[in-house]
């Protein structure tokens, strides 16, 4: 091989390695247009790593008309309902992963089977190696890493970088996951896996232009209400979750699957200014 050709090949390999380096913290910045794939909570999704490991069935979000992608035989993917009017309204924009009420879940019940995910990746070494590379951990440490994550439900449509697996190779694409999707988050509150397909997740690429969305939409989807999650400033010991069944709040220690959940009181209402009437929750009307 000529010396010049060797330089070109080496440069190409270096660029490929840089492109595949996973983002563990702040999102990268893209100055061009970004195509973002919408993925409904009940969709098996694009380039799945594993069969579904979702284990908490609940009704489809009210009014939803999304037709999900085909689900492989033997796996069940049922989206969870996003609570309406519950404590801690889901935020919009960029939020820290330790924000109370950012995520939901069913008290004393995990929405993802971490053991099943770890077992599948251990049994399929090529996928396990690619998954570990994306997460930035050694393949031998992948089971421990997965068990350090916490099972939650998204309460807002959420931007992520989605890492799939197709034709024996890892893939990467930008996506927005529908509220109600079951995910695993790390000790900074950042989504790290989508449970309907087993795909690893990293923070989204920040887009300085208007993003272009593709894939089936769902009622209520609005680009200006999509959330991006930033890592909490420090590691957190527990997440404050909202139960979709009734809006109750509870804490779930990081890395647990529901057995150690504890109910917690809702936050006190904001103090009214002296002499101001109490807010009833109804729309104000002019007499």
DSSP 241-259: EE-TTT--EEEEETT--ST
DSSP 277: P
Q: Domain boundaries in the chain?
A: 32-61+84-264
> Count of H helices and E strands in the chain?
4, 16
Q: For 191-201, how does the pLDDT look when each residue is reduced to its tens digit (9 = 90+)?
A: 999 999 999 99
Using alpha carbons only, how large is the chain's radius of gyration in Å? 20
CA atoms of 277 and 85, how far apart (whole Å) = 22
Name the band, by pLDDT with cuts 50, 70 and 90, for residue 212. confident
Q: For 166-202, how does the pLDDT look when each residue is reduced to its tens digit (9 = 90+)?
A: 999 999 999 999 999 999 999 999 999 999 999 999 9
96: which strand partners?
A: 230
CA atoms of 63 and 222, how far apart (whole Å) = 15
Residue 250 contacts by C-beta under 8 Å, 6 or more apart in sequence?
105, 107, 240, 241, 243, 261, 262, 263, 264
Choose from 1-15, 126-140, 269-283 the range with maximum mean pLDDT. 126-140
The 10 Å CB-count burial string (b at 16+, else e) for 93-125 is eebbbbbebbbbbbbeebbbbbebbbebbeeee
Name the band, by pLDDT with cuts 50, 70 and 90, for residue 265. confident
75 compared with 163, residue with greater pLDDT: 163
Q: For 13-28, how does the pLDDT look when each residue is reduced to its tens digit (9 = 90+)?
A: 333 333 333 444 544 4
Q: What angle do CA 42, 47, 52 make, to 5 degrees?
A: 45
The answer to whether 134 and 200 are in contact (CB under 8 A) is: yes
CA atoms of 71 and 195, how far apart (whole Å) = 13
How do the residues of the chain divide into helix, strand and coil, expressed in percent and rounded to 5? 20, 25, 55
At residue 100, what are phi and psi to the nearest 5 degrees? Answer: -60, 135
The answer to whether 45 and 72 are in contact (CB under 8 A) is: no
Q: For 93-113, how does the pLDDT look when each residue is reduced to its tens digit (9 = 90+)?
A: 899 999 999 999 999 999 999
First vs last C-alpha separation in the chain = 86
* pLDDT reported for residue 4: 47
């Amino acid at each position: 091989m000529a010396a010049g050709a060797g330089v070109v090949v080496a440069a190409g390999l270096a660029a490929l390695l840089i492109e595949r380096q996973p983002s563990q913290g702040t999102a990268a910045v893209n100055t061009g247009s970004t195509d973002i794939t919408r993925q409904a909570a009940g969709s098996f999704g694009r380039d799945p790593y594993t069969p579904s490991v979702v284990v908490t069935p609940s009704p489809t979000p009210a009014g939803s008309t999304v037709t999900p992608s085909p689900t492989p035989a033997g796996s069940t993917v049922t989206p969870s309902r996003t609570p309406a009017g519950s404590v801690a309204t889901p935020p919009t924009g960029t939020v820290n992963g330790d924000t109370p009420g950012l995520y939901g879940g069913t008290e004393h019940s995990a929405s993802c089977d971490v053991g099943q995910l770890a077992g599948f990746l251990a049994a399929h070494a090529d996928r396990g190696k690619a998954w570990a590379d994306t997460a930035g951990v050694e393949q031998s440490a992948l089971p421990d890493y997965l068990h350090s994550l916490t099972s939650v439900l998204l309460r807002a449509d959420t931007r992520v970088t989605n890492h799939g697996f197709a034709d024996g190779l890892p893939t990467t694409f930008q996506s927005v996951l529908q509220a109600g999707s079951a995910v695993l988050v790390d000790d900074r509150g950042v989504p790290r896996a989508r449970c309907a397909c087993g795909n690893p997740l990293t923070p989204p690429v920040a887009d300085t232009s208007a993003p272009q969305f593709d894939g089936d939409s769902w009622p209520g989807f609005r680009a200006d209400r999509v959330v991006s999650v930033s890592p909490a400033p420090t590691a957190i010991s527990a997440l404050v979750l909202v139960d979709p069944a009734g809006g109750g709040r509870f804490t779930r220690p990081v890395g647990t699957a529901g057995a150690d959940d504890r109910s917690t009181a809702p936050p006190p209402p904001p103090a009214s200014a002296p002499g101001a009437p109490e807010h009833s929750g109804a729309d104000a009307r002019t007499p």
